[in-house]
Amino acid sequence: MTISVEVNFSNKEDLVSLENLQRKNLENIDRLKEPYEDESEDNSLWYNWPENEGKKLASELEGISSRLPYYYDLVVVVGIGGSYTGTKTIHDLFGASLEIRNQEPQKKPILFCGYHLSESYLQKQLKILDQYKPVICVVSKSGKTLEPNAIYSVLSTHLKKRFSHEEILERTFFVSSKKESPFLKELSPNKSRFFSIPDGIVGRFSVLSAASLVPLALAGHNIKALMRGADDFFKKLEAKEEHTLKSLIYAPARFLAWKEGKSVELLAYEEPQLEGLGLWWQQLFAESEGKQEKAIFPIGSLFSRDLHSIGQYIQEGSKSIFETFLLTSGVRSEGNFESESRIRIPTDEFARELLGKASGHYLDDLNEKIMKASRKAHSLREVPNCTLQIGVLNESTLGFLIAFFQTSCVLGSFLLEVNPYNQPGVEAYKKELLHLLS
């Protein structure tokens, strides 16, 4: 597996700065394995996690569904932030949809609750829940987060219409670092439905830990392939493999863009199923880097959709944007041997009249051309950009990409001289809320 990274800054001086920054960046690689300087806790456990713990955990969790003494056809994930975006990333790409029944018998759909407190939306979700026999996975590293705890209490009360208290507990899994919690008291004495997130892995770095692996295993995902891809990235990094080292130019490129006054990084992707990854990527970089009034603001964007809205701003608005194009050669779950069916624009007279030269193209090929065209148009306007190319996106190349982004994020934080593992700013609204509640 590889990831190709191509950086495009228009002026020559930038290229020299980038080379210097990359030298410094590569010197920082050994720091990835260490706790951040002012941290008492070692938060670097995410590094080389597949080899140290992840692969073992994935093997243990594989086939979990067949060991349960009851039938279920839905996984409800109750979590927020890093306790849900990782699962959503994989589910969006390879998961069974809630709308289409019986599409992939080996996979169960996932319903995400706990990341919002909207009554009207939850009403709709409860109606969906009523049509299924669910398992519920409460994921909260701290075990204290208001949103998931509030939603679980609503869900478990709602389920009492159909299940006994014991059955609800049987169907509840708790994934946390917390050693003591009302959840654990409830689940006891059967602690087999408790899974631990290590203290040394913060939420946004927890995607390869039990935080995502438990719900994904329950939903029947290929978590071993995910882990294999991430492991491959770390192995290549450890071996200082040339192509992998080159790809790390992404961190200095983002840093340079910010230094030069770009305040927004737009991650442009052409695949609607990458919305989850966009959210996860945004959280990873925003929460890790955005401190001490530093760092570029990350935001995901779906092309073509957004070319018809913010495309105008990118082309002619304030010159504040650094663009990162995430290119894939399609999405295909590993082990899916069904012959690939492709969709092509027809070539009949009507289509030719309606679409001119676009007729006859496969949609993915057209999409690729649209990405190329927008990169060219935006570069003419001196929007610096970067292209990440990952090939076919399956569970293992996604694991590789996740490890690449995590690594780039921590390396970027080193260049910014901020601690990637804390989030003091998130506490501010919680304090205000406590005032309002009292």
For residue 153, the minimal CB distance to ligand PA5 (Å) is 15
The stretch among 57-65, 198-206, 230-238, 307-315 that binds ligand PA5 (CB under 6 A) is 198-206
* Choice between 9 and 194, CB closer to ligand PA5: 194
- Answer for which of 2, 48, 145, 301 binds ligand PA5 (CB under 6 A) is 145
Least Cβ distance, residue 124 to ligand PA5 (angstroms) = 23
Annotation says 430 is catalytic: yes
Among 50, 54, 134, 203, binds ligand PA5 (CB under 6 A): 203
- Minimum CB separation of residue 146 from ligand PA5 in Å reads 9
Binding track over 103-142 against ligand PA5, x by CB under 6 A = -------------------------------------xxx
Listed ranges 26-34, 200-208, 319-327, 393-401: which one lies at the site for ligand PA5 (CB under 6 A) = 200-208
Of the pair 57, 390, the CB lying nearest ligand PA5 is at: 57
**Cβ nearer to ligand PA5, comparing 142 with 157:** 142
Question: Does the footprint of ligand PA5 cover residue 153 (CB under 6 A)?
Answer: no
CB of 76 to ligand PA5, least distance (A): 16
Look up 287 and say whether it is catalytic: yes
Of residues 390 through 429, those in contact with ligand PA5 by CB under 6 A are: 423
Task: Give helix 223-238 / helix 395-416 axis angle, nearest 10°.
Answer: 50
Q: Which residues contact 183 (CB under 8 A, 6 or more apart)?
A: 138, 143, 172, 174, 176, 194
Please tell me which residue in 147, 265, 271, 287 is annotated as part of the active site.
287
For ligand PA5, the nearest residue by Cβ is 203
Is the distance from CB of 232 to CB of 396 less than 8 angstroms?
yes
Identify the active-site residue in 127, 308, 431, 435.
Answer: 308
Closest CB to ligand PA5 among residues 43, 324: 43
Indicate whether 82 belongs to the interface with ligand PA5 (CB under 6 A): yes
| 391 within 8 A of 247, measured Cβ to Cβ | no
Site for ligand PA5 in 204-243 (CB under 6 A): 204
178 is catalytic: no
Tokens standing for residue 221: 């995902």
* Residue 80 or 217 having the CB closest to ligand PA5: 80
Supply the minimum distance, in Å, between the C-beta of residue 283 and ligand PA5: 6
125 or 140, CB closer to ligand PA5?
A: 140
Instruction: Count Cβ neighbours within 10 Å for each residue of 196-216 and write b for 16 or more, e otherwise.
Output: ebbebbbbbbbbbbbbbbbbb
The Cα–Cα gap between 320 and 366 comes to 28
User: Which of 1, 9, 25, 81 forms a contact with ligand PA5 (CB under 6 A)?
Assistant: 81
Task: Please state the φ and ψ torsions of residue 254, each to the nearest 5 degrees.
Answer: -65, -40
Smallest separation, CB 84 to ligand PA5 (Å):
8
Listed residue (217, 283, 223) closest to 82, CA to CA = 283
What is the radius of gyration, based on Cα positions, of the chain? 23
Which one of residues 1, 58, 80, 274 is an interface residue with ligand PA5 (CB under 6 A)?
Answer: 80
CA distance 322 to 341: 35
| Closest CB to ligand PA5 among residues 4, 142 | 142
Residue (7 or 284) nearer to ligand PA5, CB: 284
Q: Does 88 bind ligand PA5 (CB under 6 A)?
A: no
Q: How far is the CB of 55 from ligand PA5 (least distance, A)?
A: 23
Q: Report the site for ligand PA5 in 271-290 (rule: CB under 6 A).
A: 287
Looking at 124, 144, 430, 432, which residue is catalytic?
430
Catalytic machinery residues: 287, 308, 430
The site for ligand PA5 (CB under 6 A) is made up of 80-83, 140-142, 145, 148, 202-204, 287, 423
